Amino acid sequence: MDTTVETRPPAHAPTRVLRPRPTRAQAEEAVRTLLAWTGDDPDREGLRGTPDRVVRAYEEFFEGYEEDPVALLERTFEETENYNELVVLRDIRLESHCEHHIIPLIGKAHVAYLPDRRVVGISKLARLVDVFAHRLQIQEKLTAQIADTIHSVLKPRGVAVVVDAAHQCMTTRGVHKPGVSMVTSRMIGEFESSETLRRQFFAMAGMGGA
């Protein structure tokens, strides 16, 4: 990652101006600047390796920019014995960072779709959540991106996504309200038009009171 490259907008991302990508050395120097800004000494023993560690952590936190979510779902299976009932993956661990403060939001996602001849490996659904979560996000956009990608690639009869997450930007700073979580949902196709189907999804995902 030391070479200067041009960033390309990932799939389902807004169009943005191409600009040279900073080098790893520049990224580490930016961390040193922030450490000094806090009032600490970036050259003291405990902080000497911090710029390198932070950059490596960022590579992991934001690896979703390097993956194409559409390509992830393109390998599907049609030998389903005409299965046409709900497919639900619940309690998918979700770790992301809010784009306003770059502070973690942690929770879980429940994902469902109603197949129309094609299904996808369930690990791909969990990976899709990770691809979008491992980018700078707001929860509303994250929820929509997961649902819209499943809808556009698999072309099912319906898609439902619910995300329930705690935002450390409001639990560890600002209003300091621990124990609060935010719930967002996106319903497409038959999930949008059928209350019965939504209730079935909520029950299968363990959200009976939703």
The residues annotated as belonging to the active site are 98-101, 139, 167, 169
- 97 marked ligand binding residue: no
From residue 153, give the alpha-carbon distance in Å to each of 25, 76, 98, 110: 38, 10, 26, 18
From residue 60, give the alpha-carbon distance in Å to each of 40, 78, 104: 26, 34, 13
Cα separation of 178 and 169, whole Å?
10
- 101 marked ligand binding residue: yes
Q: Is the dihedral of CA 141, 144, 146, 150 positive or negative?
A: negative
- 12 marked ligand binding residue: no
Q: Which residues are annotated as a binding site?
A: 98, 101, 169
Q: Which residues are annotated as a binding site for Zn(2+)?
A: 98, 101, 169
